[in-house]
Amino acid sequence: MQTYKKMLLQKLTDNGWEMISQSSACDWWLEEYWTIKSVRNHWGLELLVLFLVDPQFEGQHKNQGVRSITVTTEMPSDWIAAENGLALITIIGSFEKQADHLLETINYYRSTATD
């Protein structure tokens, strides 16, 4: 598992989220995605964490082309729709600060979600 994924998974766990599944059977624009579930308030709320491949990436291994991560409430139809999720960060630059912002956003969403 890539270092940024380990860091993100740890932050999710620390914030009351649990990864319940992961899949790499994806379209060209998606390296893999995780299904996460809230194990704190609003228990059971599920979101998707998607690892997006740069559309200009031409390599053979999609994991080398991941440039951004988004969180959505359902599987988007394509890369453009994925970028319009709840939160979008890049893995370039200060990943820890961006990951913290992603967690703030999804934790806020969880706290305001209605049944």
Instruction: Give the pTM.
Output: 0.90
Residue pLDDT, tens place only, 43-63: 899 999 999 988 777 767 776
DSSP 115: -
Inter-residue contact 19 to 35 (CB < 8 Å)? yes
Residue pLDDT, tens place only, 77-87: 888 898 889 99
Query: Once rounded to an integer, what is the mean pLDDT over residues 75-98?
Result: 89
Residue 115 has pLDDT above 80, yes or no: no
Q: What DSSP string describes 37-98?
A: EESSSSTT-EEEEEEEEPTT--SS-GGGSEEEEEEESS--SSHHHHTTSSEEEESSS-HHHH
